[in-house]
Structure 1
């Protein structure tokens, strides 16, 4: 992300991408204010601390840009949701622990 290596969780049930607030300074993100809250299943609504637009990502040879909501996260620093899957043209095959990425001409397995 933004030229830095990060470990992320790919969450097929998440509608958005999320960064923990601690990642903002580490990745040098420019953040816009966001007055919204977001609610996960079985939890209280949490405030969105901001939005980072156009964060560069690279997985294997595939690169692109996606937006992230900045929040206080509990277990992960980075959560990649459906927005990432669409932008990266990626899908999971969890039964064989593989992520497939299609770049228009080639299919990559990671």
Structure 2
């Protein structure tokens, strides 16, 4: 009887996006409220996306190849109240690009900086 050995390689993804209430001080120091969308990267596997919005925000992510699509949906917009939403994005090593969509529209990131 022949025995065959099969090995399975499970690749565990660490990709995640979550809104955070407590912003690390080194990130907070880099936030500039003049930008509607600000990306702050730690140079490793974590980025912070800061989105200044006049409404409530729902965020989702999708990944394909080396690209992450971050999708923000803005609802219940107020005319005079701008709220800072900070999201922690944990990336897998193969992710090199972040595409941002706000209400379905491709949107450039206003400012990118590192910590």
TM superposition score normalised by structure 1: 0.27
Q: Which has the higher helix share?
A: 1
Q: Which has the larger radius of gyration?
A: 2
TM superposition score normalised by structure 2: 0.26
